Amino acid sequence: GEDVEQSLFLSVREGDSSVINCTYTDSSSTYLYWYKQEPGAGLQLLTYIFSNMDMKQDQRLTVLLNKKDKHLSLRIADTQTGDSAIYFCAESGSNYQLIWGAGTKLIIKP
Amino acid sequence: NAGVTQTPKFRVLKTGQSMTLLCAQDMNHEYMYWYRQDPGMGLRLIHYSVGEGTTAKGEVPDGYNVSRLKKQNFLLGLESAAPSQTSVYFCASSYRLGSNNEQFFGPGTRLTVL
């Protein structure tokens, strides 16, 4: 069945790059998404990538997609304390549903 | 635009009580969703709706009912609350023709069932 997997925690030092990884199973997914959830808030779309792309860059964010391995990653350059959040990977499913990973909590060390 | 709003923000119930969570969106979205979020389990879809007057079951529908009488509103009901329903509930909406299917989320309702 459809499943999206990601590690639950990632700890990085302020100023370093953070790389959050995700694997998915549905090769027919049209879009793959990264959402950010700050403490006590709802989820907000951070970025997304269309399935025919390998890479997408948006300021400090780089998304890499390896369709052969069904692997998606989010790189945050120059990680700041404001990047502390839970990051969710999701893939598009049927009926406009999204298949969600469990979320990776990004912890920033000073 | 207010986006997606949810009421109430917090609620404490006793086992067996009932309540309704209200979600409203002003983006003319066709699709609306109710999720619950529990630690370490990500988001689990409870029910969803693909348009006014329609509802469908998601991954964890038991103990919940929903209604979509108006396009902009999606109600989630708990008829007889149980401690296992203690969670944070998120409403989301999506689908404008030609969009990337992004889901827009409300701020959440934190529900505690004693």
pLDDT at A80: 96
Residue A2 has pLDDT above 70, yes or no: no
The C-alpha atoms of residue B69 and residue B77 are separated, in whole angstroms, by: 14
Maximum pairwise Cα distance, chain B? 45
CA B103 to chain centroid: 13
By Cβ distance, the residue of B42, B95, B102 closest to A100 is B42
Q: What DSSP letter does each residue of B49-110 carry, written as one string?
A: ESSTT--EE-SS-TT-EEE-SSTTEEEEEESS--GGG-EEEEEEEE--TTS----EE---EE
- Answer yes or no: are the C-beta atoms of B74 and B6 closer than 8 Å: no
Q: Strand A9-13 relative to strand A104-109: parallel, antiparallel, unpaired?
A: parallel
Query: Would you place residue A95 in the very low, low, confident or very high pLDDT band (cuts 50, 70, 90)?
Result: low
Task: Enumerate the residues of chain A whose CB falls inside 8 A of the CB of residue B101.
Answer: 30-31, 92, 96, 98
pLDDT at B64: 98
The model's pLDDT over B43-81, given as tens digits with 9 standing for 90+, comes to 999 999 999 999 999 999 999 999 999 999 999 999 999
Task: Enumerate the residues of chain B whose CB falls inside 8 A of the CB of residue A32.
Answer: none
The model's pLDDT over A30-83, given as tens digits with 9 standing for 90+, comes to 889 999 999 888 999 999 999 889 999 999 999 999 999 999 999 999 999 999
The model's pLDDT over B85-102, given as tens digits with 9 standing for 90+, comes to 999 999 999 976 556 778
The C-alpha atoms of residue A101 and residue A6 are separated, in whole angstroms, by: 6
pLDDT at B40: 74
